[in-house]
C-alpha cells in the first residue's frame, strides 16, 4: 500500500493517518465480531409515549444504537416465509428467513435471459437494468412530498446553519424523531415499491434491478438519527419479488456512515466525512462499513438469495476528489477479501469515483469479477446543456458517451468490465429540487449559490415550464428525446450493461427521470430490448435539429 495508484493528480495527502494494521486483521476482526454476535438482539426506539422493539438476529444488544430501553419485550416469532406479513410486522429474524429452503430458481424473466438457476452471460449480453431509487434511501427530488411539509415557501437555499432545514434523510429523521420517522418510512417503504413494480419492470424487458440501500439497513451508530434495520425487511421482500419474476439484483450500498460524498443521496448532505482527506479515523471508518458489508454478505451468499443478488455494489459514488484514495483502496481490498472468503462469487462493483474512467486502466487487476460503475449524466456541467439537440444525440451520446464507455470496457484501452449504473433522459437540470431542496435550476437561471449569487440562465429563452410538463412537448422535442433515450440504451449496451435512473418520480412530475412515464409517453420503448433508434441510425438525425428552448 506504499504508493497511490492514482499518482496523476489524486495523490495521497501528506497528512495521511494510515494505520499500519494488516488488512487481514481488519477482515478477521469483522468476521470475529459476526461470530460472537450470533445472538438474538433487541433494538428499541423510545418515542414520547411509545416503546417500540425490533427483534432480529445478528447483533448483540450493545451493538445497536438507540438501545436505551430498560425492559424490552422479547417476542421471538417463529417466522415462516410469509414475507407479506414480514414487512407488516415489526419483528423479523434474519437467520430464520435465510435458512428457509422453500423456494425455487425456476423463474425466467424473458426468453432472452436464462432462468435464475443458470448464470447470466455477463460480458456476452448486456445487463438491461433499472434503479429502484428513492425507496430505501430517500431523495427529495424523487419524492418531494416527504420534504414539502418542512420546506413551505422555501425560496432560498437552506443554509447549513439553519437547524430547521430538512433536506435529506438525516435531517428528516432528526426533525421527526424515532417514532414518527419509523411510521413515515414504513408507510413509504410499503407503497413506493410493490410487487407491481417488479411485474412492470419485467414486462418492459429488463433483466436486472439495482436497489440502493443505506448502511442503516444493517445498523446505526451513536448520533445517527436514521431508522435502523426497518429497510432491511423491505429489501428482503424485494429479493423475494425479484426471484419470483426472474429478475437479478445489483445490491447497491448507497451510503457509508457519515457520508462518502456529501450529497443528499448519501443520507447526509454537506461534506465528505467518511475517509475524508483529513480523517484521523480511517481504520474505524473502514471497520464500520465492513461490519455493514459483512451482514449484507450473509444475505447474498445464502442459498435463498445467492442466484438473485449477482452484483454487489460495495459503495455508491465515493467522491475520490475529497478522499484519502489510499484508504479507499484499502477498504476495497478488505471488502473484497471479506465477501470472497464468505463465499460470494458474484460480481463486485466499485464506483469510478468522479476521476474519469480512463484513469482506471490497469487498476485493481488483482481482483476477479470486479465491475467499474460509471454514472453518466449530461446535465451537471451547465455547458453540456447548451448544445443543440442534434449535437446532443450525434456527438454527446452516439460518439462521446458511446466511445467513453466502450473504451473503458475494452481491456487494452481501459479497466475492462464497465457498467453504467445510473443514467437518465434529463437534458436539463429542471427537475424540482434536483440540485437541492429550495435551490433552483441552472437552465432557467433560478439557481442560487448559498451566498445568494445567481447564475445566468443557459439561454435567453430557456424555461423550465415545458420541460417538466410532457403535455406541452412539441413533436420535435419528442422526436429528439426518443433518440436521446434510445441512443443511450444502445451506447451503454456496448458495456456490461446499464441501469436507468429512476423507475419513477412522484406524481409523474418529471418524466425525464421516470422510466415508467417515458414508456407511457412513447419516448422509451415498450420493450427495452427493441429500441426504435440506435446509434447506427445517426444519419437519420435531422441536420438542423433544435428549437426555441
Ligand X SMILES: *[C@@H]1O[C@H](CO)[C@@H](O)[C@H](O)[C@H]1NC(C)=O
List residues binding ligand X (CB under 6 A). Answer: 80, 102, 139, 141, 263-265, 269, 271, 276, 278, 280, 410, 412-413, 434-436
**Rounded CA separation 525/489 (Å):** 10
The residue (of 435 and 495) whose beta carbon lies closer to ligand X is: 435
Catalytic residue check, 352: no
**Rounded CA separation 43/64 (Å):** 6
Nearest approach, Cβ of 41 to ligand X (angstroms)? 26
**What is the Cα Rg of the chain in Å?**
23
Nearest approach, Cβ of 240 to ligand X (angstroms)? 9
Nearest approach, Cβ of 267 to ligand X (angstroms)? 10
Q: Which of 240, 291, 422, 510 is catalytic?
A: 422
Neighbouring C-beta atoms of residue 117, cutoff 10 Å: 12
Nearest approach, Cβ of 321 to ligand X (angstroms)? 13
The residue (of 237 and 297) whose beta carbon lies closer to ligand X is: 237
Nearest approach, Cβ of 237 to ligand X (angstroms)? 13
Q: Which of 295, 317, 324, 510 is catalytic?
A: 317
The residue (of 157 and 300) whose beta carbon lies closer to ligand X is: 157
Query: Rounded to 5 degrees, what are φ and ψ at 129?
Result: -135, 165
- Cell digits of residue 396: 454527446
The residue (of 67 and 373) whose beta carbon lies closer to ligand X is: 373
Neighbouring C-beta atoms of residue 358, cutoff 10 Å: 13
Which position has the grid cell 477482515? 27
**Rounded CA separation 50/35 (Å):** 33
**Rounded CA separation 290/218 (Å):** 11
Contact 197, 130 (CB under 8 A): no
Contacts (Cβ under 8 Å, ≥6 apart) of 421:
131, 210, 250, 252, 313, 316, 349, 351, 373, 374, 375, 498, 499
Cis before residue 212, ω within 30 degrees of 0?
A: no
> Beta strands of 465-510 (E only): which ranges?
497-500
The residue (of 413 and 456) whose beta carbon lies closer to ligand X is: 413
> Beta strands of 386-493 (E only): which ranges?
418-423
Nearest approach, Cβ of 81 to ligand X (angstroms)? 6
The residue (of 3 and 14) whose beta carbon lies closer to ligand X is: 14
| Residue 418, beta-bridge partner list | 372
Catalytic residue check, 317: yes
The residue (of 240 and 291) whose beta carbon lies closer to ligand X is: 240
> Beta strands of 445-506 (E only): which ranges?
497-500
What is the widest separation between alpha-carbon atoms in the chain? Answer: 74
Q: Which of 287, 258, 252, 288 is nearest to 271 (CA)?
A: 258
Nearest approach, Cβ of 406 to ligand X (angstroms)? 7
Residues assigned a catalytic role: 317, 422
Amino acid at each position: 500500500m506504499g504508493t497511490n495508484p492514482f499518482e496523476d493528480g489524486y495523490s495521497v495527502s501528506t497528512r495521511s493517518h494510515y494505520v499500519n494494521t494488516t488488512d487481514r486483521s481488519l477482515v478477521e476482526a469483522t468476521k470475529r465480531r459476526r461470530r460472537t454476535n450470533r445472538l438474538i438482539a433487541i433494538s428499541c426506539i423510545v418515542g414520547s409515549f411509545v416503546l417500540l422493539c425490533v427483534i432480529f438476529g445478528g447483533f448483540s444488544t450493545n451493538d445497536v444504537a438507540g438501545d436505551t430501553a430498560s425492559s424490552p419485550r422479547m417476542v421471538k416469532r417463529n417466522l415462516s416465509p410469509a414475507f407479506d406479513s414480514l414487512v407488516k410486522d415489526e419483528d423479523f429474524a434474519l437467520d430464520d428467513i435465510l435458512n428457509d429452503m422453500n423456494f425455487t430458481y425456476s423463474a425466467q424473466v424473458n426468453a432472452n435471459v436464462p432462468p435464475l438457476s443458470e448464470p447470466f452471460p455477463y460480458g456476452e449480453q448486456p445487463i438491461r437494468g433499472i434503479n429502484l431509487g428513492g425507496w430505501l434511501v430517500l431523495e427529495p427530488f424523487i419524492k418531494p412530498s416527504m420534504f414539502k411539509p418542512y420546506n413551505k415557501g422555501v425560496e432560498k437555499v437552506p443554509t447549513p446553519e439553519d437547524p430547521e432545514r430538512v433536506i435529506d434523510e438525516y435531517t428528516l429523521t432528526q426533525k421527526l424523531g424515532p417514532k414518527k420517522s419509523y411510521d413515515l418510512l414504513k408507510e413509504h417503504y410499503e407503497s413506493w415499491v410493490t410487487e407491481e413494480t417488479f411485474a412492470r419492470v419485467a414486462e418492459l424487458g429488463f433483466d436486472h434491478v439495482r436497489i440502493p440501500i443505506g448502511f442503516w439497513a444493517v445498523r446505526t451508530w451513536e448520533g445517527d438519527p436514521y431508522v435502523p434495520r426497518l429497510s432491511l425487511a423491505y429489501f428482503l421482500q424485494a429479493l423475494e419479488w425479484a426471484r419470483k419474476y426472474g429478475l437479478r439484483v445489483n445490491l447497491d450500498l448507497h451510503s457509508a456512515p457519515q457520508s462518502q460524498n456529501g450529497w443528499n443521496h448519501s443520507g447526509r448532505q454537506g461534506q465528505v466525512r467518511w475517509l475524508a482527506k483529513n480523517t484521523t479515523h480511517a481504520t474505524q471508518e473502514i471497520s464500520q462499513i465492513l461490519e455493514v458489508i459483512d451482514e449484507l454478505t450473509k444475505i447474498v451468499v445464502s442459498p435463498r438469495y445467492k442466484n438473485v443478488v449477482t452484483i454487489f455494489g460495495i459503495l455508491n459514488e465515493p467522491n475520490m476528489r475529497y478522499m484519502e484514495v489510499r484508504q479507499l483502496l484499502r477498504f476495497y481490498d478488505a471488502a473484497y477479501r471479506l465477501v470472497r472468503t464468505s463465499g460470494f462469487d458474484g460480481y463486485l462493483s466499485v464506483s469510478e469515483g468522479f476521476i474519469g474512467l480512463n484513469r482506471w486502466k490497469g487498476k485493481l487487476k488483482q481482483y476477479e469479477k470486479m465491475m467499474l460503475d460509471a454514472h453518466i449524466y449530461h446535465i451537471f456541467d451547465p455547458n453540456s446543456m447548451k448544445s443543440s439537440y442534434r449535437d446532443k444525440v450525434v456527438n454527446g451520446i452516439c460518439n462521446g458517451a458511446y466511445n467513453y464507455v466502450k473504451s473503458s470496457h475494452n481491456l487494452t484501452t481501459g479497466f475492462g468490465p464497465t457498467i453504467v449504473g445510473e443514467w437518465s433522459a434529463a437534458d436539463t437540470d429542471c427537475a424540482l429540487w434536483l440540485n437541492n431542496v429550495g435551490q433552483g435550476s441552472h437552465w432557467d437561471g433560478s439557481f442560487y449559490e448559498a451566498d445568494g449569487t445567481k447564475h445566468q440562465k443557459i439561454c435567453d429563452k430557456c424555461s423550465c415550464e415545458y420541460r417538466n410538463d410532457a403535455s406541452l412537448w412539441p413533436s420535435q422535442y419528442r422526436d429528439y428525446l426518443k433518440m436521446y433515450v434510445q441512443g443511450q440504451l444502445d451506447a451503454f449496451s456496448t458495456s456490461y450493461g446499464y441501469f436507468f435512473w429512476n423507475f419513477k418520480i412522484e406524481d409523474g412530475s418529471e418524466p425525464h427521470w421516470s422510466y415508467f412515464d417515458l414508456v407511457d409517453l412513447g419516448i422509451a420503448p415498450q420493450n427495452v430490448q427493441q429500441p426504435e433508434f440506435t446509434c447506427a441510425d445517426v444519419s437519420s438525425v435531422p441536420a438542423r435539429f433544435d428549437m426555441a428552448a
